[in-house]
Amino acid sequence: MTLRIWKERFGLVKMERIKSLYLKYRHGIPLALYMIVYLTWFAWLEDRNKRNYEVIHVGLDDYIPFCEVFIVPYLLWFGYVAAVVVFLFFKNKQDYYHSCAFLFTGMTLFLIISTLWPNGHHLRLAEMPRDNIFTQAVSALWKIDTPTNIWPSIHVYNSMGAHFAVMRSAELKGKKGIRIASGILAFSIILSTVFLKQHSCFDVATGLGLGAVMYMLVYRRDAVFAARAERKMKKRMSM
């Protein structure tokens, strides 16, 4: 009898813990589901669009030299964006939701554009000008990443989104070093997209434009609404 009661109590405690964890972290479910959809859709595009696509090229592309050391910030992008999202996930739900809204919107537009208008470039070098650890890393990247589905640049857009999230984070408001480092890294990643011949300047420009528009919609809109609400409140109090 005692054993049965202990098992029942233990089961209830276990269920309560599971319920508590679910309620605490359920805001991560949309992120997990979206990443499954995004990665599946992107993998399909990479296979479909590598054969037939519209070539993107602007004159400025021909004046930008290849610089293999930019592979470092280019690869850091994966950890950078993930680290920012994970940090916000645990520290501030509201900032997390803003960040996800920014990232998901741009990434979805990118998928739709790549589906309706397959695109790519012919900027990659026929052979590496040097042999070193950086050129070897670039060669490895080019083997697994096709020069298609490039407009607008998600490396550019998501770098902007990650940096905006850092700058708007309440928890990082007084962390000047982190905010400066984030800006330098984001800028380096954006430069890396053209110096590694991963993107055309057109992809970068449109990525920057889209990021600027989404910043106004996701972040500035709340600030405008808050300012209006504050003015209305002061007006009522003065009457």
| pLDDT given at position 225 | 47
| pLDDT at 10 (0 to 100) | 54
Segments of the chain scoring below 50 in pLDDT: 1, 6-7, 225, 227, 229, 237
What is the predicted pLDDT for the residue at 215?
96
Cβ neighbors of 219 (< 8 A, separation 6 or more) are: 98, 102, 164, 168
